[in-house]
Structure 1
């Protein structure tokens, strides 16, 4: 199952390449924020992450509700976190 999971942007790693470091449940990965280029995402913003891309900017309340609902999914949520933990975009792979 592939889910969009909430993550908080902790750093814009490479503005020219639209890369940001995001924290998802304590797991930090570099993702693409190119799809949100028109929304001026910044550190502290919450985004919905799917397959290494920020798909939508969301507010903190929506992020909290989504995380709570996903935790209730049990193993599916754990599997999604494991998949997120095992992938990363690196500056060398651009």
Structure 2
């Protein structure tokens, strides 16, 4: 990742190449989650959405990405309520966040 910005609009600066690779892999997996969430929403598979949201909630802060944790918590709660419009909105917010995020 090159010049994307973090939650505060500034690139996330990571000097250690190993750590940069780890966070790059983490973010790549989150993009896979977008596909999984989108498919699950089309199929009204709220359990998959709940589990994926729970995993995002637990993992985001570990990488210093509290926005991912916040969105994951929202997805988990929206799935519990079978709130399809809310889930769709949160998937959009997660997608936007991941597209804007850069690690340098």
Task: Say yes or no: TM over 0.5.
Answer: no
Give the TM-score of the pair, scaled to structure 2. Answer: 0.33
Larger radius of gyration: 2
Give the TM-score of the pair, scaled to structure 1. Answer: 0.36
Instruction: Indicate the structure with greater strand content.
Output: 1
